[in-house]
């Protein structure tokens, strides 16, 4: 019996080496290199973690069996505590493995559940890096480019066909129109223009999705920056933050609660749109997109997406942008004017993700379609 305990402890030490490498790679300067590392949590890495954790649990159970159950000298109180302890360890171990494969979209990609979501749903990816299907037989079709950020890319939507760009293509007729989705999470106006210039397809029509934080780079030039949340720094207990960052069950629980004050983004946006040293350069950035559309003889359309949980303030912030497009006779879909029929909870993809739901995307597609038909 003693020899079996010794061999179990020895095996546990051997298993512990790859376990530490997998769960604490930064401590050993190890990096896992795979496509979109950092954005997605690779399935095979998670599978390896699950298998190693199962092996650890099995060896702990074996140690418990030979050290307590089969040990005639074990103290009854110690045996009861050990029994309770092994049950708790196994419960949390199994839950940890389960949560290695549970996905949940969040505002960004900081949580492990969101990285699992990206690994599962952020596809297909084109050669240019966009979440879209490659277009086939598009030579004789009219090309519509839809430019924007995460709302355009469909952050939080499990299926690309739920995005407004894909639904717009169906409404226009996929046999006559090819709608290209040029959405990138975190993109702002300057980045959007640069990507538009590089994109090999020239538009017959251009749709710009505008969100209040698109002014970010212009604000940064004026030394106004959005306060960045440092995840896990709000956990004050030594060592706990490190565990929450690395293990899936506590990480999932941690991200069910808000950790960044909503006022930070609203304060940033309010200051940005009321400061002419920020607003005027931003309008010049937008003018470049307008000029690009005109140079290509492509009618342009704009979708103004507000903060879906605070529409009234959003409209006030971005009124100068709406006026800018209206004065240039560019049709504007003011999304907040049409959201009254959709309950607030149904406007977003989830409680931890404020991106537009499939219902809101369907509404955008319909209003865009009506606007395009009215101007043809």
CB 364 within 8 A of CB 181: no
Task: Work out the average pLDDT over 37-65.
Answer: 95
Quote the pLDDT of residue 137: 87
pLDDT tens figures, 238-266: 999 999 999 999 999 999 998 766 667 88
Residues 6 or more apart in contact with residue 145 via CB below 8 angstroms: 180, 182, 196, 199, 201, 203, 205, 206, 207, 298
Rounded CA separation 79/77 (Å)? 5
Q: How far is CA 91 from CA 57, 86, 97, 249, in A?
A: 10, 8, 10, 11
CA–CA dist 307, 315 (Å, integer) = 9
Mean pLDDT of 227-243: 87
Mean per-residue pLDDT for 295-307? 97
68-80: average pLDDT: 87
Distance of CA 266 to the CA centre of its chain: 20
Q: Rounded mean pLDDT of the chain? A: 93
**pLDDT number for residue 5:** 85
pLDDT at site 228 = 72
What pLDDT score does 309 carry?
81
Query: Looking at per-residue confidence, does 74 or 185 come out higher?
Result: 185
pLDDT at site 261: 63
pLDDT > 70 in the chain, percent: 99
Pairing assessment for the beta strands 177-183 and 142-148 based on DSSP bridges: parallel
Tens digit of each residue's pLDDT (9 = 90 or more) over 154-201: 999 999 999 999 999 999 999 999 999 999 999 999 999 999 999 999
Both tokens assigned to 371 = 């606007």
Calpha distance 336→321 (Å, rounded): 15
pLDDT band per the 50, 70, 90 thresholds, residue 44: very high
Question: Looking at the predicted structure, is the pLDDT value of residue 225 above 90?
Answer: no
């Amino acid at each position: 019996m003693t020899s079996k305990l010794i061999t179990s402890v020895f095996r546990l030490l051997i298993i512990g080496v790859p376990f530490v490498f997998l769960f604490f790679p930064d401590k050993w300067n190890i990096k896992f290199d795979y496509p979109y590392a950092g954005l997605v949590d690779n399935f095979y890495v998670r599978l390896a973690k699950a298998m190693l954790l199962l092996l650890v649990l099995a060896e702990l159970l074996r140690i418990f069996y030979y050290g307590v159950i089969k040990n005639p000298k074990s103290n009854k109180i110690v045996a009861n505590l050990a029994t309770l302890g092994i049950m708790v360890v196994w419960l949390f171990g199994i839950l940890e493995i389960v949560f290695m494969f549970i996905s949940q979209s969040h505002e960004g990609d900081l949580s492990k559940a969101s990285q699992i979501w990206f690994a599962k749903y952020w596809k297909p990816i084109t050669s240019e890096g966009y979440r879209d299907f490659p277009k086939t037989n598009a030579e004789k079709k009219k090309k519509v480019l839809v430019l924007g950020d995460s709302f355009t890319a469909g952050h939080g939507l499990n299926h690309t066909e739920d995005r407004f760009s894909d639904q717009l293509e169906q409404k226009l007729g996929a046999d006559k129109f090819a709608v290209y989705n040029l959405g990138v999470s975190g993109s702002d106006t300057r980045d959007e223009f640069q990507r538009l210039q590089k994109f090999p397809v020239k538009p017959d029509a251009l749709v710009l999705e505008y969100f209040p934080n698109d002014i970010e780079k212009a604000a940064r030039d004026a030394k106004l920056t959005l306060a960045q949340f440092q995840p896990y720094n709000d956990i004050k207990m030594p060592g706990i933050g490190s565990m929450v960052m690395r293990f899936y069950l506590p990480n999932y629980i941690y991200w069910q609660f808000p950790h960044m004050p909503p006022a930070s983004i609203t304060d940033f946006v309010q200051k940005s749109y009321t400061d002419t040293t920020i607003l005027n350069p931003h309008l010049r950035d937008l003018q470049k997109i307008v000029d690009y559309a005109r140079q290509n003889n492509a009618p342009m359309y704009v979708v103004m997406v507000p903060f879906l949980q605070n529409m009234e303030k959003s409209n006030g912030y971005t009124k100068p942008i709406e006026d800018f497009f209206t004065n240039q006779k560019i049709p504007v879909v003011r999304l907040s004017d049409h959201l009254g029929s959709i309950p607030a909870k149904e406007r977003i993809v989830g409680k931890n993700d404020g991106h537009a739901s499939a219902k809101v995307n369907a509404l955008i597609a319909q209003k865009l379609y009506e606007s395009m038909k009215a101007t043809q």
